[in-house]
Chain A
Amino acid sequence: MRVRKLSIQNFRGISHLEWQPSDGINCLVGPGDSGKSTIIDALDWCLGARRTLPVSDADFFALDVDDPIVVECVLGDLDDGLKNLDAYGAFLRGLTDEGDLEDEPGNGLETVLVLRLQIENDLAGQWQLVSPRAEDLGQARGLSWSDRVSVAPTRIGTFANQHLGWQRGSILNLLANERADASAQLAEAGRQARKSFGDSAGEQLAETLGIVDEAADELGVGVGEEARAMLDAHSLNFSGGTIALHDGNGVPLRKLGMGSSRLLIAGLQRRIAERSSIALVDEVEIGLEPHRISKFLTALGSKQAEPPMQVFMSTHSPVVLRELKSPQLGLVRAGQNHSVMPAGHTDDVQATLRSAPEGFLGLHVLICEGATEVGLLRGLDLYLSDCNRPTFQAAGGVVVDGGGVSRVYRKALPFSELLYHAAVLRDDDVQPDAADEQRFEDRAGTVFKWTVGWAFEEELFDCLSDDGIENMWEFLIGVRREEKLVEHLRNVKNGSVDIDTLLSDPDDDDRALLAKAAKKGSWLKRIDIMEEAAHRVVGPDLVNMKDDFTDVIGSVYEWAGVDYD
């Protein structure tokens, strides 16, 4: 079975959502509160085998309980049992390739059922199949209980321990058609326990028993000869979850780490994919080291051309994204109407997913021309954070290394096309492809650049205050060998350089010389060095720097919604 379409109305933060998920993995990505877990919960509530739901007023959109919560799933790739004419004949529908529903199944259409969960202000869930012609016939029904059990998705939540024993709803019950019938033995064991426990508690509780006897005697309540403390038969209640998985040493697998148990359950789910073909996974990465994330995803079928099951999951981890193919990604977009955008399957998106997965996790994606700008933004953030001021990162900003001016738009365009709030920060000494830049700006992308014709170094050394320049030199000779820097200067100037004069009260020529040497000698073209330089030197100097520099920085921060002045 597969969910072909999902629609949600008035559920938590989602007023309205329509989505056609893909057959295999659907990894939902989006900023916090964009509705990822709401979507997963909606699927769970609609498809899960539950008789009641833990609904509260807060589950209604804008707390308006008079607008019912409606979750509708169009279910395709149906098992034979769900196409049963006796049970569901009047409810079978047809779905076109384009995703349009027709009232009846038909040649060339996929046969589907439409299952709707509706929650009114009485907070009780109603599960019904939707079919106009059944309604005309006066027929109404939901899925039978056994069918609900068979379509119910396996939820691999943060704590997946419920799947490690044989309690109701456990995945273990689906692995094979067998049941341990322990009730008789357990009842017998219970009797034995009661017997051997006997009156052994009597001594420890002698005083209490004495008081009970006295009181009973006084009030004429018959307790026989005397009250006894024995094992309560009711406390020996052996129900479903009594039998659980244990390791060879008898340690319950429940004691496995969170990651291990999630991993094991994903592997088990894979084995029952034919019968229970939908899995819901919250926050894939929880409890899993990076190398196990890959195993986990493989267990869920992420690498298979014919997906063995349909998986709905959410993540905040670039490691997870790097393991996925772009068609497996759904970008959740909040707004008047929520939507889930498929990331698509172009090479550029796939390449960006590999090289800059963190970009997909941001609210504001700043694609920088190179390592220098990445370091700059990170360092400035560190400085702002030292000053207890709001940072770019905290505002949901993510910095992506564009890999040089010729490649920056190959990375930036996918983001703008996927409706990310995206911007490019680039040098102006070498121009990128103008058509690419135009396309980017047409899709609401913003371009930040330094003064016309200038690279970052030229802007930096032009705008730093005198003290700033001196501090920068101090910093540089702390991380690089001074003789080398001097030699760079000498080569650029084609003559001897006196550092002291150069640094004291530097004029435009001195600044240009420093910039040129910095560029040639790649003084700042390493993320870590630039990050440190921005943190220690540029940040503290911002107040004294020339506007040409601080204006660009300010507008980048403001673009990301950071209060910056």
Chain B
Amino acid sequence: MTDVDLLDIRRGSIVAPAGCGKTQLIVDALSNAKAPLPYLILTHTNAGVAALRHRLNRQGVGRSAYRVATIDGWCMRLAALFPMRSGYSDGLQPKTPSYPKIQKAARKLLEEGHLRDILPANYAGLVVDEYQDCSVGQHAIVYFASRHLKTCVLGDPMQSIFGFGQNQLADWEGDVCRHFPTAVELDRPWRWINAGNEPLGRWLLDARQELMAGRPIDLRTAPNSVKWSVLQGGNGNFDALVDAARVHHRAAGETSLVIGDSRSASSRYRVAKRIPNMVTIEPVHLKDLVSYAMALDLGDGYSVGETLEFAESVMTNVGATDVMSRVKTLKAGSGRKPPTDFEFIVMQVLDAPSYQGLAAILSACSARSGTTVFRPSVLRAALRALELTSDGSGMTFGEAAVRVREENRTVGRQLPKSAIGSTLLLKGLEADHVVVLNADELDARNLYVAMTRGAKSVTICAQGAILNGQTEYKGASS
């Protein structure tokens, strides 16, 4: 391990390329912390908070040594505690939190020095993880907090892929390094060393340097564990992509990630549908579920049809239209074949629609032979929301779906054996094997993030061996 103690850093940054033991560095520092007060560890997402907590717990770091929160969550708490100084009046549980407003309020509080004695009385220091994902506003908040707390920020400008739309990220060289001078750059590729595959780790570090400098990388110089899958006919060659995505695990318990088209969730679903046991990684907003739940009305006669359509979006072989017409026939008494168990359930629920009934349809549907659920996390969330709606809590289905979505935000994502997603969705996750389906279209940073997800092997689908790293990457939405 690098012999830097990040807690000794008064004000500085640690550049941490992927897989170089950044989280372990935090864990080690905290387990040796001797301060009477806890360190405040900030990161960006609730999932990140959960993952860090889990890691710290697992390594036996005492709860009194740290507090973990998201930057926005911490800001909201401060702003709500001191409404007069911060000018923030929405309280701790706003219906729809306005993060720009919260950040502005927290910034005012910190910039004007109202917490100058209170912060040092609460925290021994501040550590901000994934700093490359900090917006300009969040960077200002951390900067003003660092006037009162010793502060170390960790991140990797090469993994900064969140900047799009309104979310302007702090510039690493211009903003971050000016306020938090680089203390150390981690350079031991632990993820690959631990996987017995150090050459791949070293090659990725070199590739990072090249990509950062705007130079192309050559797949032919890569070690054996990097496989170049030549795409003939470009991305239109869908069968070739599916073939590449079919990773054969060499040993039980191995995992793989497939990085698909960022711009098209449906193209990723198409790949997943073709490969048994491959599931999708879903964005936290669970849009499909929420809009299904919001639109559903038990009394309008469409609820069963809508439920079957929803089922079709998360599993294979539903045949929603066929089921509906078959049930119509059966109800008219003109079916020659008797109804199957599944059709029987559907008919019952059609007669007396209920949330429990809809849940039964979804369960029965997923249990049919020949059906595989490729978006299990969405199905699980739907079943949980239906359960919440029918257990007398008084929530509508729409409210329950939102509740489930918010609950899921705070749980760390569990990595399935074989999953597909985009760079944005898979960032921070790692597996034994990674397949990059559309390497030609990725910009330097997305390419770097994509390639570094695999510890044992990296498969890259590209037309040529030279990858430039597109200067402009339009794969903004996940």
Residues of B within 8 A of A83 (CB): 117-118, 121-122
Q: A83-B118, A85-B122 are in contact. Are A103 and B37 (CB under 8 A)?
A: no
Least CB distance from A80 to B in Å reads 4
Give the one of B37, B78, B81, B91 with max A CB within 10 A: B81
A107 is an interface residue with CB less than 8 A from chain B: yes
Inter-chain contact B84/A84, CB cutoff 8 Å: no
Task: Report the nearest B residue to A78, measured CB to CB.
Answer: B121
Give the one of B77, B78, B115 with max A CB within 10 A: B115
- List residues of A (61-118) whose CB comes within 8 Å of B's CBs: 78-80, 83-85, 89-90, 92, 103-107, 111
Residues of A within 8 A of B117 (CB): 83, 105, 111
Inter-chain contact A107/B84, CB cutoff 8 Å: no
The 0/1 profile, CB within 8 Å of B marked 1, for residues 111-144 of chain A is 1000000000000000000000100010000000
Residues of A within 8 A of B73 (CB): none
Inter-chain contact B82/A104, CB cutoff 8 Å: yes
Inter-chain contact A80/B85, CB cutoff 8 Å: no
Q: A80-B37, A137-B91 are in contact. Are A105 and B118 (CB under 8 A)?
A: yes
Q: A85-B81, A137-B91 are in contact. Are A106 and B122 (CB under 8 A)?
A: no
Inter-chain contact A85/B118, CB cutoff 8 Å: yes
Least CB distance from B478 to A in Å reads 34
B239 is an interface residue with CB less than 8 A from chain A: no
Inter-chain contact A92/B83, CB cutoff 8 Å: no
Task: Classify chain B: how many residues form its interface, as a range.
Answer: 20 to 34
Which of B36, B78, B114 is in CB contact (< 8 Å) with A106?
Answer: B114
Inter-chain contact B113/A84, CB cutoff 8 Å: no
Q: A105-B82, A133-B83 are in contact. Are A80 and B114 (CB under 8 A)?
A: no
A104 and B89 alpha carbons, distance in the complex (Å) = 14
A262 and B82 alpha carbons, distance in the complex (Å) = 45
Residues of A within 8 A of B113 (CB): 107
Residues of A within 8 A of B115 (CB): 105
Least CB distance from B63 to A in Å reads 12
Inter-chain contact B114/A107, CB cutoff 8 Å: yes
B112 is an interface residue with CB less than 8 A from chain A: yes
Least CB distance from A137 to B in Å reads 7
Residues of B within 8 A of A133 (CB): 83-84
A6 and B112 alpha carbons, distance in the complex (Å) = 30
Task: Report the nearest B residue to A110, measured CB to CB.
Answer: B117
Least CB distance from B191 to A in Å reads 35
- List residues of B (66-97) whose CB comes within 8 Å of A's CBs: 77-78, 81-85, 91-92
Give the one of A85, A90, A104, A137 with max B CB within 10 A: A85
Residues of A within 8 A of B118 (CB): 83, 85, 92, 105, 111
A471 and B166 alpha carbons, distance in the complex (Å) = 108
A444 and B77 alpha carbons, distance in the complex (Å) = 57
Q: A80-B37, A80-B121, A137-B91 are in contact. Are A107 and B116 (CB under 8 A)?
A: yes
Inter-chain contact A90/B85, CB cutoff 8 Å: no
A83 and B37 alpha carbons, distance in the complex (Å) = 12
Residues of B within 8 A of A79 (CB): 121
The 0/1 profile, CB within 8 Å of B marked 1, for residues 19-43 of chain A is 0000000000000000000000000
A46 and B78 alpha carbons, distance in the complex (Å) = 29
The 0/1 profile, CB within 8 Å of A marked 1, for residues 118-134 of chain B is 10111000000000000
A85 and B118 alpha carbons, distance in the complex (Å) = 8
Task: Report the nearest A residue to B91, measured CB to CB.
Answer: A137
Residues of B within 8 A of A111 (CB): 117-118
Q: A104-B114, A107-B114 are in contact. Are A84 and B85 (CB under 8 A)?
A: no
Inter-chain contact A80/B84, CB cutoff 8 Å: no
Task: Report the nearest A residue to B86, measured CB to CB.
Answer: A104
Task: Report the nearest B residue to A87, measured CB to CB.
Answer: B122
Task: Report the nearest A residue to B112, measured CB to CB.
Answer: A107
Inter-chain contact A104/B122, CB cutoff 8 Å: no
Q: A107-B113, A107-B114 are in contact. Are A84 and B83 (CB under 8 A)?
A: no
The 0/1 profile, CB within 8 Å of B marked 1, for residues 204-222 of chain A is 0000000000000000000
- List residues of B (103-160) whose CB comes within 8 Å of A's CBs: 112-118, 120-122
A133 and B88 alpha carbons, distance in the complex (Å) = 13
Inter-chain contact A104/B121, CB cutoff 8 Å: no
A367 and B116 alpha carbons, distance in the complex (Å) = 52
Task: Report the nearest B residue to A107, measured CB to CB.
Answer: B113
Inter-chain contact A84/B114, CB cutoff 8 Å: no
Residues of A within 8 A of B122 (CB): 80, 83-85
Q: A103-B84, A104-B85, A137-B91 are in contact. Are A84 and B121 (CB under 8 A)?
A: yes
Inter-chain contact A89/B112, CB cutoff 8 Å: no
A268 and B113 alpha carbons, distance in the complex (Å) = 38
A107 and B91 alpha carbons, distance in the complex (Å) = 22
Give the one of B37, B82, B92, B116 with max A CB within 10 A: B82
Least CB distance from B269 to A in Å reads 44
Residues of A within 8 A of B91 (CB): 137
Least CB distance from B69 to A in Å reads 11
Residues of B within 8 A of A84 (CB): 121-122
Least CB distance from B400 to A in Å reads 26
Residues of A within 8 A of B83 (CB): 104, 133
A2 and B116 alpha carbons, distance in the complex (Å) = 19
Residues of A within 8 A of B120 (CB): 80
- List residues of B (376-404) whose CB comes within 8 Å of A's CBs: none
Least CB distance from A183 to B in Å reads 28
Residues of A within 8 A of B77 (CB): 85, 89
Give the one of A78, A104, A137 with max B CB within 10 A: A104
Least CB distance from B368 to A in Å reads 50
Task: Report the nearest A residue to B82, measured CB to CB.
Answer: A104
Task: Report the nearest A residue to B117, measured CB to CB.
Answer: A111
Residues of B within 8 A of A92 (CB): 118
Inter-chain contact A106/B121, CB cutoff 8 Å: no
Residues of B within 8 A of A106 (CB): 85, 112, 114
Residues of B within 8 A of A104 (CB): 82-85, 114
Residues of A within 8 A of B116 (CB): 107
Task: Report the nearest B residue to A92, measured CB to CB.
Answer: B118
A104 and B84 alpha carbons, distance in the complex (Å) = 7
A131 and B81 alpha carbons, distance in the complex (Å) = 11
- List residues of B (228-255) whose CB comes within 8 Å of A's CBs: none
Residues of B within 8 A of A105 (CB): 82, 85, 114-115, 117-118
A202 and B122 alpha carbons, distance in the complex (Å) = 65
A225 and B200 alpha carbons, distance in the complex (Å) = 89
A106 and B108 alpha carbons, distance in the complex (Å) = 12
A107 and B112 alpha carbons, distance in the complex (Å) = 7
Residues of B within 8 A of A80 (CB): 36-37, 120-122
The 0/1 profile, CB within 8 Å of A marked 1, for residues 2-43 of chain B is 000000000000000000000000000000000011000000
A104 and B37 alpha carbons, distance in the complex (Å) = 23
Residues of A within 8 A of B121 (CB): 78-80, 83-84
- List residues of B (32-59) whose CB comes within 8 Å of A's CBs: 36-37
Residues of A within 8 A of B37 (CB): 80
A92 and B114 alpha carbons, distance in the complex (Å) = 12
The 0/1 profile, CB within 8 Å of B marked 1, for residues 493-527 of chain A is 00000000000000000000000000000000000
Residues of B within 8 A of A78 (CB): 121
Least CB distance from B356 to A in Å reads 36
Inter-chain contact B114/A89, CB cutoff 8 Å: no
A89 and B119 alpha carbons, distance in the complex (Å) = 11
Task: Report the nearest A residue to B67, measured CB to CB.
Answer: A86
Task: Report the nearest B residue to A134, measured CB to CB.
Answer: B81
The 0/1 profile, CB within 8 Å of A marked 1, for residues 427-439 of chain B is 0000000000000
Could you name 12 residue pairs across A and B whose Cβ atoms are closer than 8 Å?
A80-B37, A80-B122, A83-B118, A85-B78, A92-B118, A104-B83, A104-B84, A105-B117, A105-B118, A106-B112, A111-B118, A133-B84
Question: Shortest 7 CB-CB distances between A and B: which pairs?
Answer: A83-B121, A107-B113, A80-B121, A89-B81, A106-B114, A104-B82, A104-B84
Residues of B within 8 A of A (CB): 36-37, 77-78, 81-85, 91-92, 112-118, 120-122
User: Beyond A89-B77, A137-B92: 14 further Cβ-contacts under 8 Å?
Assistant: A78-B121, A80-B37, A80-B120, A80-B121, A80-B122, A83-B122, A84-B121, A85-B77, A92-B118, A103-B84, A104-B83, A105-B82, A107-B112, A133-B84
